[in-house]
A and B are shown apart, each in its own frame.
Chain A
Amino acid sequence: MKKSIKVALAGNPNVGKTTVLNKLAGTALKVGNWPGVTVEKKEAFVKVKDYTLHFVDLPGIYTLDPISEDEKIAVNFIKNEKPDVILNIVDTPNLERNLLLTTELLEFGIPLILVLNMTDEAERIGMDIDSDRIEELLKVKVVKTVGRTGKGIDKIIPLLVEIYEKGKTPNSVNYSPAFEEALREVSKRYPKANKHLKIELLSKSQEFKSLKEELEKKFGKSIQEIVADERYAFAHGLYSEVLKRSGSVSRDITDTIDKLVLHPFAGFLVFIGVVYLTFKIAFDFSSPFVDWIDSFINDFLSPLSYNFLETLPLPVWFQRFFSEAVIGGVGFVLTFTPLIGSLYFLITFLEMSGYIPRVAFLMDRFMHKLGVHGRSVIPLILGFGCNVPAIIATRTMESTRDKILVTVMIPFMSCPARLVVFAFFISLFFKDNPAIILTFLYILGIFIALITAFVLRKTLYRGVLSHFVMELPPYRLPSIKSVFTITWAHLKDFLYRAGTLIFGASLLIWLLLNSPPGVKNPSESIAALIGKSLVPVFEPIGISDWRATTSLIPAFLAREIALSSMGTIYTATEDIQRKEDFKIVEASVEQLKAFAEATFEAVRSIFTLKITTFEVEEEEDSLREILREKFNPASALSFMIFILLYTSCLGTFAVMMREIGRIKAFLFLIYSFFIAWLTSFVVYRFYLFLVSI
């Protein structure tokens, strides 16, 4: 029978724990250079010999004295879940600081492997560590690694098995004689307690109050100070003992780049430039591929499927279901996969390169006016990738007040799901000014977020701002393989949703459009009945077609469903022509050529400065034609604003309930509906007014 070895990966933030785990287990985990990316307990299972290694990646911590929620997760795991082995990963250039946590971990008496990571950076500054001496002094195993390249990581798994089989207990801090004597007293009553627990009992339990007071009197300081001072002294002594060559303080390019990137004025220009380039590259690079997938689905996959289905003895309704719900609904949303992939790739790259944490420093002055730290900008930026992990990332906030203020801002950050809807409507109605409309929508979202935080700060959450302390990692060129791995993890999630949630919603909409059974005209269906009953609510904001209001109902699951539902509804209600005369060989050659052209166009687009994505030639498909008749620029803008501001995303709502509580999440949902409707109304009416004069 296979035995399980539970391995906890513990270490300071930014030491490369997740990267090491990625190399060890080949799993796609979220990695980053700012503290607290790994806010959830991430796991991986690896089978070796007769064992299953169960790796648990813990959030970065500096000490076992937690403040924020993510730090508490890590500390509670080590204390309560009792791992079999601790894989303590340290950043070698900052070894002395890292050894404080090592010192604390040793007190649990759990077999430990010390991974000296980033040894390449240590070598660059001339630093050399005697790993044999560490093994000898601490009775632990030591491995030197370079997480980015994977050097040395292959040695970890055999060592894990070895150390587990031998059950080697490491050495721990030897406190001063008086303190050790006090710990022996604790041992008499708790003989099985490890050193960490004994110290906790001595410091906090009423049972040992007199013993504690005696020590405090003898040392002339609090027990916390006694313990901290001795641990620091141990870590310092150990560091001095194992350091062969100390090396110089790194004079890398980080300081030089920071002079520009963190400059109060130039830094803002760089920030704007980075944001512009991110979106420009994401849009322009993906656009040719979006067009290609669209043509692949409509001109190749769809006729190919029809031809195939016609050869089978299938009922007509199934063919209709396939064309209306699968191709019209799911297929339509899938065309935007390249756009989502490109955006995730770039955000992950910025995150791993160390740029995103810098924005916290740059934006602090501005964010402080809203009553939060510059650090709050990080979850907000992540919100442009996906609101769900961004809300989870607020766990790194040290006060509940800050966490709530940031959490209610995140849903207004426009994620790629919204971009799918925007890209479609902009290409239909705002071809002359695509960049202006898109920028307006992003800024509007940010503006509403700022107003929301400002009002809350002046009313319900007036409290004092907590202290702001954060480590800035050096700039690092991320391994492209890691960036791709993470991007793929996000894309997998999107494709999974397309296959489940979006497909389910398309199916439901299709069924409602064809209910009650035997209904001839979809405008007499149940879907139409529901949609028409909602028209009075949305008519004032310019959405008066029942098909559009109906599409908003399933869109609560995920915003892009608004578009897939429209695809299903409009495909079912209008007579959309099929392509006849399909020849598979010619069509395949045509698709291959189109793909080559798309690749060439995508690469070429990167080398221009202007955003060219939406400047497309008159492109027509049936759905676009129909929507152009049913909407006008004013109602299209109003629809986009509604999609932007209303929290129509089940994932975001669910995570908000978990993070800030059910009542607050519901209140926020109502607020987001209200503010979305009001803003759409104002913009719609103002647009009509401008057009009329």
Chain B
Amino acid sequence: MGIETVNLGAEFTVKFLKEKTNPVIRKLSAMGLKEGSRVKLLLKNGRVYLLRLNNSRLIIDKDLAKYIEVA
């Protein structure tokens, strides 16, 4: 399932990243969002999500979020 199914404030694990060779996905991984990461969905605003990842916060758009499968 995708991030859109996650409730606000809930934590999830990144189960799978699609298109791992896509440069944007590689950047996302380098920013710490990779398979196995524990992430908290902090906020949603229109087409962007604010995620909490350890001690950092990432903004990603919904189109990019489609590449992420969560559990």
Contacts and interface: CB of A to CB of B under 8 A. Distances in A.
B31 to A, nearest CB: 5
A465 B61 CA distance: 11
B56 A97 contact: yes
Given A94-B32, A232-B34, A469-B61, A374 B54 contact: no
A222 B55 contact: no
Given A364-B48, A469-B31, A470-B58, A258 B63 contact: no
A360 B64 CA distance: 16
Contacts of A254: 57
B12 to A, nearest CB: 15
Interface in A72-121: 93-94, 96-97, 100-101
Interface stretch (A62-70, A173-181, A445-453, A574-582): A62-70
A465 B48 CA distance: 13
Contacts of A471: 31, 56-59
A410 B21 CA distance: 34
A365 interface: yes
B64 A467 contact: yes
A249 B29 CA distance: 19
Given A467-B63, A468-B59, A365 B46 contact: yes
Contacts of B55: 93-94, 125, 249-250
B60 A62 contact: no
A228 interface: yes
A30 interface: no
B9 to A, nearest CB: 10
Interface string A453-468: 0000000000001111
Given A232-B34, A469-B61, A262 B26 contact: no
A499 interface: no
A123 to B, nearest CB: 13
B50 A361 contact: yes
Contacts of B3: none
B32 A97 contact: yes
Given A125-B55, A361-B59, A63 B27 contact: yes
A467 B42 contact: no
B38 to A, nearest CB: 9
Contact of A94 (B21, B23, B50, B56): B56
B47 interface: yes
Interface string B31-71: 11010000000110111101010111111110110000000
Interface residues of B, number: 30
A466 B31 CA distance: 18
Nearest to B53: A97
A364 B56 contact: no
Given A222-B21, A262-B45, A364-B47, A472 B57 contact: yes
Given A228-B29, A467-B61, A471-B31, A262 B50 contact: yes
A625 interface: no
A264 interface: yes
A364 B48 CA distance: 7
B30 A100 contact: yes
Contact of B50 (A67, A258, A465): A258
Most chain-A Cβ atoms within 10 A of its Cβ — which of B29, B50, B55, B64?
B55
Contact of B48 (A96, A249, A250, A374): A374
B24 interface: yes
B6 to A, nearest CB: 17
Nearest to A369: B46
A472 B59 contact: yes
Given A467-B64, A469-B64, A361 B23 contact: no
A320 interface: no
B59 A470 contact: yes
Contacts of A490: none
Contacts of A101: 30
Contacts of A97: 30-32, 54, 56
A96 B53 CA distance: 12
Contact of B23 (A65, A93, A472): A65
B14 interface: no
B30 A62 contact: yes
A195 interface: no
A362 interface: yes
Given A67-B27, A468-B48, A258 B61 contact: no
A373 B27 contact: no
A162 interface: no
B29 A232 contact: yes
A678 B52 CA distance: 48
Given A249-B54, A262-B43, A469 B26 contact: no
A469 B58 contact: yes
Nearest to A259: B43
A597 interface: no
Contacts of B50: 258, 262, 361, 472
B57 A264 contact: no
Interface string A357-399: 0001110110010000110000000000000000000000010
B57 to A, nearest CB: 4
A154 interface: no
A264 B64 contact: no
A488 B29 CA distance: 39
A360 B46 CA distance: 12
B45 A469 contact: no
Contacts of B28: 469
A469 B56 contact: no
Contacts of A250: 55
Given A94-B54, A97-B31, A469-B31, A364 B45 contact: yes
A467 B32 CA distance: 17
- 9 nearest CB pairs, A to B: A365-B46, A62-B30, A63-B30, A468-B61, A97-B32, A93-B55, A472-B57, A467-B64, A364-B48
Interface of B: 20-21, 23-24, 26-32, 34, 42-43, 45-48, 50, 52, 54-61, 63-64
14 contacts: A62-B30, A97-B32, A249-B54, A254-B57, A258-B43, A262-B50, A360-B59, A361-B43, A364-B46, A368-B46, A465-B63, A469-B27, A469-B64, A472-B59
